Amino acid sequence: MTGSVAALTVAAALLVGFPATSSAASTSPASGNISVGAISSLTGAIAADFDAFVPGMQAYFDMVNAAGGVNGHKLVLAANLDDAGNPSQFTQLTHTLLQQDHVSAVAISTFFFNPSLYVQSGVPTYGYNVSNNWVGPANLFAAGGSVQNYTAGVAPISWIIKQTKSKSVAVMSYGSAITSSFGACNAFANGLKAAGVTVSYTDLSAQLGGNYSSAVQKMQQSGTDFVLSCLQSSDNITLARSIQQYGLKVHQLWLSGYDQTVLNQYSSLMQGVYFNVNGNVPFQAVKAFPGSYPGMQQYLAAMQKYEPKFAFNDQALQGWQSAALLAAGVQKAGSDLTPANIVAQTNKITNFTAGGLSAVTDWTKLHTTQTYPACSAFVKVTGSKFIPVAIKGHQVFACFNKKVNYKNPIPVTPPPGTPGT
């Protein structure tokens, strides 16, 4: 969902990005620093789903700066502003970052991202894509690629359904007003149905913070043995509690809740639950497959040093990836550190993995087009741990071509450069 904000004229100075007469928070090549401004939902009802992104970015900055920066330039978080989960507040803060602080790059972690002013400014903009409006403009870099193609997610989900030998699927999401939830699960339900997979129950307008006892009873009546949830983590817990109370024996796949702090608190409700960690290496792959994922090992070491509270948080991982992409663009830009050149150089990168943390991202294509094979990784809760689901040997990525038999999905060889290959 995006706010309905009229486009405003941005001053010419904003388009420069590194003005010689900027404020203290600004950046110029001569200053030695590259300033980054962030807007996050740090408070409010949805803060838990967005507040870890910037700590992940900050940890990467700290690691790189301790080694001298990027081409001698340190990456500095000039501000992390709180929109409190309010779209109008987000708009006000956007003006603050772009028109007053003149930051060199922007990080976004909120449900209410409106891209219009960022596109006009040309400033490199990095973030967590939950609103499906990062696609297109060359300066918008959502972690893992700016295209949000839910259809590509049907194949790995159908693969998990097959692995669990499930026959009857229930799908839960919020209504269309929460596009990231509805868009994903609506596409998954339609894709599975079209392939002849039995979708026995759907609730694609579930209430945020609701009571799901009625839904669970209907699943029980319809013979459901697999539940796919696009709800947020707290509501997944509520759903799991109802499933347990009614004695419903099902496999579950959640798209939210892959967080050790959540598991520590609710392990009794999460046993056997699968999580799709999308195109990221699971945190636990380091211990499960020693030596196979050095990029994740580096990430965890730095996070434990600089931001230990958020070390095992998937949004923090996306923040780290975004910081790594900014650093890669700055490095390739050399001495020409204009926003336009950072954007241009970043968009020449064809094999970005954030140092071995994610599936391959081709930034020459992933502003507008889904690339294939598309790769996802999964973990499963066992006891108090998330256990990576190995596809073959130590490989955690299940990759699928565009055309897939959803009743019998067969993973293909991951693209060259994929971590674990």
Which pTM value belongs to this model? Answer: 0.88
Q: Are residues 18 and 93 in the same domain?
A: yes
CATH of the domain at 165: 3.40.50.2300
Question: Is 365 within a domain?
Answer: no
Contacts of 391 (CB under 8 A, 6+ apart): 397, 398, 411
Whether residue 19 is found in the same domain as residue 119: yes
Q: Is residue 99 part of a domain?
A: yes
- Do 160 and 199 belong to one domain? yes
The answer on 111 and 223 residing in a single domain is: no
Q: Both 108 and 207 in a single domain?
A: no
Assigned domain for 332 exists: yes
Is residue 394 domain-shared with residue 254, that is, in the same domain? yes
Q: Are residues 262 and 168 in the same domain?
A: yes
Asked if residue 414 is part of any domain, the answer here is no
The parts of the chain modelled with pLDDT lower than 50 are 1-30
Q: Residue 8: what pLDDT?
A: 19
Per the domain annotation, does 19 fall within a domain?
yes
Per-residue pLDDT tens over the stretch 294-335: 999 999 999 999 999 999 998 999 999 999 999 999 999 999
373 preceded by cis ω (within 30°)?
A: yes
Same domain, 239 and 382: yes
Residues 65 and 163 in one domain: no
Name residue 362's amino acid. D
Whether 114 and 208 map to the same domain: the answer is no
In the structure encoding, which two tokens stand for residue 259, read together?
Answer: 């967080």
Judging by DSSP bridges, how do beta strands 140-142 and 125-127 pair with one another?
Answer: parallel
Please count the structural domains in the chain. 2
pLDDT 10s digits, 370-390: 999 999 999 999 999 999 999
pLDDT at 111: 86
Residue 228 in 3-state DSSP? strand
Q: 26 is in which domain, residue-wise?
A: 12-144+297-346
